[in-house]
């Protein structure tokens, strides 16, 4: 009886999953750094996990190595990094003065994140079956939610001598970001954004400026990116989304 031929994958095809696993390692290591009190390095590792999360799916599509396992692994990595590691680091940094209420805020954020990811997975399958454009997310994406939740940390890192905000404010803020993740607010998907050939040079110049700012003034640049992202989300939800729906 002949054996069925084995399906073999090249290392290039495994690269997207390798990036996802690396992102999980970065997120879990961020928890360790937070326990040790090295909050700057913990946040840096979470930012690395976010970058890897943004690369793995695009690389899989580029290499034509997308798979059901890769999609599930990516979703699980998002929950570990942005639904567990990020709120835990925030808890260790600024919520231990109100341990019980602070822990409730962590659990609230984690549950909102996993519900957001579950809803995204379901809607992605439905849009794929219907051929939808996916121009908008419903609620904040989990990486953006984690980034915004860490905004108070960015302020304390950017301003020397600044102490963490009061724990109740941090807890309420993190819970509010969690609510935005499960809210029906339409959030513009940058994945579908197209740049005309005439504007590519300006886009690349802007990207170079942002990259330089992140390298030289990391925390101040992250604050500006967070505020700009919130402004774009509000603008798209209030002005662009109704116009796009009516056209």
What are 126-165's pLDDT values in tens digits?
Answer: 665 444 455 677 889 999 999 999 999 999 999 988 888 9
Instruction: Note the pLDDT of residue 40.
Output: 95
Cβ contacts of 11-16, under 8 Å, gap ≥ 24? 12/63, 12/65, 13/63, 13/65, 14/65, 15/59, 15/63, 15/65, 16/56, 16/57, 16/59, 16/60, 16/63, 16/65, 16/70
What's the whole-number average pLDDT of the chain? Answer: 85
Please state, in angstroms and rounded to a whole number, the distance separating the CA atoms of residues 34 and 93: 7
3-class secondary structure per residue, 7-50: CCCCHHHHHHHHHHHHHHHHHHHHHHHHHCCCHHHHHHHHHHHH
Please state, in angstroms and rounded to a whole number, the distance separating the CA atoms of residues 140 and 151: 15
Q: How many residues does the chain have?
A: 247
Instruction: Note the pLDDT of residue 41.
Output: 96
Which neighbouring-strand residues pair with 147?
none
Please state, in angstroms and rounded to a whole number, the distance separating the CA atoms of residues 247 and 244: 5
Which regions of the chain are under pLDDT 70?
1-13, 65, 126-135, 191-193, 240-247
Pair 106, 95: CB distance under 8 Å: yes
């Amino acid at each position: 009886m002949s054996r069925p031929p084995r399906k073999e994958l090249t290392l290039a095809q495994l690269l997207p999953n390798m990036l996802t696993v690396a992102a999980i390692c970065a997120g879990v290591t961020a928890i360790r750094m937070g326990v040790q009190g090295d909050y700057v390095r913990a946040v840096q590792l979470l930012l690395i996990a976010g970058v890897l999360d943004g690369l793995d799916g695009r690389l899989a599509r580029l290499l034509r190595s997308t798979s059901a396992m890769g999609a599930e692994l990516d979703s699980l990595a998002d929950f570990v990094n942005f639904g567990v590691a990020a709120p835990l680091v925030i808890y260790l940094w600024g919520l231990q003065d109100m341990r019980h209420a602070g822990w409730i805020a962590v659990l609230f954020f984690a549950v909102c994140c996993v519900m957001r990811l579950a809803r995204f997975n379901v809607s992605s399958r439905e849009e794929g079956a219907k051929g939808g454009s996916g121009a908008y997310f419903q609620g904040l994406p989990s990486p953006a939610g984690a980034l915004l939740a860490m905004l108070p940390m960015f302020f304390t890192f950017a301003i020397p001598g600044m102490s963490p905000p009061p724990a109740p404010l941090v807890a309420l803020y993190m819970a509010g970001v969690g609510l935005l993740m499960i809210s029906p607010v339409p959030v513009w998907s940058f994945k579908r954004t197209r740049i005309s050939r005439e504007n590519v040079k300006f886009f690349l110049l802007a990207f170079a400026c942002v990259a330089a700012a992140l390298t030289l003034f990391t925390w101040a640049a992250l604050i500006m990116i967070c505020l700009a992202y919130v402004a774009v989300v509000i603008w798209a939800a209030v002005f662009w989304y109704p116009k796009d729906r009516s056209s």
